[in-house]
Amino acid sequence: MALLTVDRLTKRFEGALAVDEVGFSVGEGRCAALLGPNGAGKTTTIRMLTGLLAPTAGTIALEGMKPGQDRREWIGYLPQHPAFYGWMSGHEFLVCAARLCGLSKKEAAERSGELLERVGLGAAGKRRIAGYSGGMKQRLGLAQALIHRPKLLILDEPVSALDPIGRREVMTLLGELKSETTVLFSTHVLPDAEELCDDILVMAAGRLAAGGSLAGIRERNRQPVLSLETEGDARSRAWLAAWLKRLPDGFETASATSTGARLVVRDLEAARRTVLRELADENVRVTKLEVGYTTLEDLFLKAVGSA
């Protein structure tokens, strides 16, 4: 069952079309990644979902929400660059956020303590936020987004500004949270999406270029790939450059790498025979010929390039 349904969502800014009739759904209990290059419309879409921007057109619906109910009551939101009052302690900030969400004084204090422990800030709860690291602030932001037990957690580039240690801390926490609530997060880092998500939504130029379950999209778009590496002598390089220009039938795309080429093919066995025959005929010295399949990055580049 879909928890979130978006239909023909559109946003214009003074004539410029930032989001163009985007439609998708996120199933209850699923983790979905909103992918796209910078400027694709991800943040604008998220701001409309969270109520921070009014759509020019289109609808946003949450399953089970009563008519006239503010959907922000159902949503926990972590912006890309969360802002805090540096003079507050982490515990004071969470209590303030909880009270603003309607929790009682007692419940706010209990919930804040519980979440500080959950995000690994229990020992730092009484310290001023100004002294927190970037990773600590991001984890505090996650605690704030969860304070009112939202049905949908929305995160805008949650790890893009973090160092490797802070990134790993937040990714581990998100991996735990996705088993407890529905999550939608935006990113342009494809390994993050592959690590966490069940579904992907690819945006390009304000439109939805591809979408569906990660497993289903991989299966539908998977193509065989041959990775070829030759010795770095001038003769091998010259042959490879000339061969890539006159690519035989059966090869979809070819791209040169620092040591060889990456070939997307239609028929794996036929392509392998062709490559081996031509290598033997030209006496080109090979260091590796490897078989694989197209990746999420290939799909992403294809979807973005065709938008």
Q: What percent of the chain has pLDDT over 70?
A: 99
Residues 6+ positions from 78 with CB-CB distance below 8 Å:
138, 141, 142, 144, 145, 153, 154, 155, 156, 158
Model pLDDT for residues 183-207, shown as the tens digit of each residue:
999 988 888 888 888 999 999 889 9
pLDDT (0 to 100) of residue 47: 93
- In which band, very low, low, confident or very high, does the pLDDT at 87 lie, cut at 50, 70 and 90? very high
Distance separating alpha carbons of residues 189 and 79, to the nearest angstrom: 16
pLDDT (0 to 100) of residue 11: 94
In this predicted structure, the answer to whether residue 301 has a pLDDT above a threshold of 70 is: yes
Q: What percent of the chain has pLDDT over 90?
A: 44
Fold of 222-306: Alpha-Beta Plaits (3.30.70)
| Residue bearing the bigger pLDDT, 32 or 232 | 32
- In which band, very low, low, confident or very high, does the pLDDT at 306 lie, cut at 50, 70 and 90? low
Residues 226-230, mean pLDDT to the nearest whole number: 86
Q: What share of the chain is helix, strand, coil (3-state, %, to 5)?
A: 40, 30, 30
Question: Which burial class, exposed, middle or buried, applies to 66 when counting CB atoms under 10 A from its CB (0-12, 13-18, 19+)?
Answer: exposed
| Residue bearing the bigger pLDDT, 112 or 163 | 112
Distance separating alpha carbons of residues 110 and 108, to the nearest angstrom: 6
pLDDT (0 to 100) of residue 305: 66
User: 35 to each of 43, 82, 149, 278, how far by Cα in Å?
Assistant: 11, 20, 26, 39
| Domain spans in the chain, listed from the N-terminal domain onward | 2-83+136-211, 222-306
pTM of the model: 0.82
Average pLDDT, the chain: 88
The amino acid at 117: E
pLDDT (0 to 100) of residue 65: 81
- In which band, very low, low, confident or very high, does the pLDDT at 86 lie, cut at 50, 70 and 90? very high
Q: Which of 6-10, 86-90, 214-218 shows the lowest mean pLDDT across its residues? A: 214-218
Model pLDDT for residues 239-257, shown as the tens digit of each residue:
888 888 888 788 888 888 8
- In which band, very low, low, confident or very high, does the pLDDT at 59 lie, cut at 50, 70 and 90? very high
pLDDT (0 to 100) of residue 293: 82
Minimal CA–CA distance to 89: which of 122, 118, 134?
122
**2-83+136-211, which class in CATH?**
alpha beta
- In which band, very low, low, confident or very high, does the pLDDT at 36 lie, cut at 50, 70 and 90? confident
In this predicted structure, the answer to whether residue 307 has a pLDDT above a threshold of 60 is: no
In this predicted structure, the answer to whether residue 221 has a pLDDT above a threshold of 80 is: no
Q: What three-state secondary structure class fits 32? A: strand
pLDDT (0 to 100) of residue 26: 94
pLDDT (0 to 100) of residue 263: 86
Q: Which of 133-142, 159-168, 188-197, 259-268 shows the lowest mean pLDDT across its residues? A: 159-168
Residues 57-82, mean pLDDT to the nearest whole number: 88
Q: What is the DSSP letter of 205?
A: T
pLDDT (0 to 100) of residue 201: 93
pLDDT (0 to 100) of residue 144: 95
